Amino acid sequence: MTRADWLRLMILSILWGGSFFFVEVALTGLPALTIVWARVALAAVLLWGVLKATGVALPGRAVWPALLVMGLLNNAIPFTLFVLAQGQITGALASILNATTPLFTVLVAHLATRDERITPAKAIGLGLGFAGVVVMMAGAEMGGALAAKLACLGAALSYGFAGVWGRRFRRLGVAPMATAFGQVASSTLILLPVWLWVDAPWTLGWPGWEAAGAVVGIAALSTALAYLIFFRLLASAGATNLSLTTFLIPISATALGWLILGERLLPQHLAGFALIAAGLLAIDGRMFRRRVA
């Protein structure tokens, strides 16, 4: 990767790591579904503006059913689960559990595709990664904290399905930026009736400037701007190099939580993340190939 690619990678990890920080601040004044719906709705408006400004065509009518599924798997389900979980666990821990996404992606791809099978190296990586999850779960009571951790894993599994489902848009000839807009617009529509029913937004008072600013931040920075950088980096550096953000997101999320919110991680959480990172390195395989070379 070039220096510009590394800079984009660092910025992207900060933006996505910042989403966990923004959620914690937003939860001080807003209910979960309001945060999630506002995030995707504002991001959809911003990305629509970018499409118009750049002249990229909107998705055609034929691909919207697939975009609805993508919006459900890549936005509506995981965003909601993570926000609900962060009502009980820190953003730093949630970001570490989010790092299991590539593990679930490998497993889903093995079951759902013919060209991405589990190799021995990937099997070792899966074993290490799930061992890391077990370590982080150790000592958790059968209550809120455990349910929150399971919610994060459910969100990571949803991302795994989304990664496999999203492969079809390239074959369908949909521009990456149009896909990004289509999925957040779809998740906005999916979540709208649930949000109106559960949160009854007309009954909510003003959440305060900090919570409102956090919602704007997560929509504009951690969603709309992050997608712009994501697809630029995907084109220049490739999907494999882009996966390095998985290692960096917990670092930025933990640093923001520690510096601003006074959060801390337990040793078992760090040990669990070390196992997950080792598993991802085994799945990636580049370090092993370099040693062989």
CB 89 within 8 A of CB 202: no
Which of 65-74, 126-135, 274-283 has the largest mean confidence? 65-74
Q: How confident is the model at residue 244 (pLDDT cuts 50, 70, 90)?
A: low
Reading phi first (left if > 0) and then psi (alpha if -120 to 50, else beta), residue 173 is in left
pTM of the predicted model over 0.95: no
* Per-residue pLDDT at 24 exceeds 50: yes
Q: What does the buried/exposed string (b/e) look like for 54-80 if buried means 16 or more CB atoms within 10 Å of the residue's CB?
A: eeeeebeeebbebbbbbbbbbbbbbbb
What's residue 39's pLDDT?
Answer: 96
Nearest to 36 by CA among 244, 245, 215, 281: 215
Residues 73, 7, 153, CA angle at the centre, nearest 5°? 25
What's residue 284's pLDDT?
Answer: 63
* Per-residue pLDDT at 215 exceeds 80: yes
Nearest to 279 by CA among 137, 100, 93: 100
Residues 56, 60, 65, CA angle at the centre, nearest 5°? 125
151-177: pLDDT as tens digits: 999 999 998 888 788 878 878 888 888
What's residue 203's pLDDT?
Answer: 93
Reading phi first (left if > 0) and then psi (alpha if -120 to 50, else beta), residue 265 is in beta
Structure tokens at 175: 């521009």
> Which of 60-64, 202-206, 262-266 is predicted with the least confidence, judged by mean pLDDT?
262-266
Q: Which ranges in the chain belong to alpha helices (H)?
A: 3-26, 32-54, 64-71, 77-85, 91-98, 101-112, 120-137, 144-165, 168-171, 176-199, 209-219, 226-242, 245-256, 267-284, 286-292
d(CA 227, CA 14): 13
Mean pLDDT of the chain: 83
What is the greatest pairwise CA distance in the chain? Answer: 64
Per-residue pLDDT averaged across 199-204, rounded? Answer: 93
Q: How confident is the model at residue 261 (pLDDT cuts 50, 70, 90)?
A: confident
Which of 12-21, 122-131, 134-143, 238-247 has the largest mean confidence? 12-21
Q: How confident is the model at residue 51 (pLDDT cuts 50, 70, 90)?
A: very high
d(CA 185, CA 177): 12
Determine what percent of the chain is predicted with pLDDT higher than 70: 86
What's residue 105's pLDDT?
Answer: 78
Domain ranges of the chain: 3-292
- Better pLDDT: 114 or 70: 70
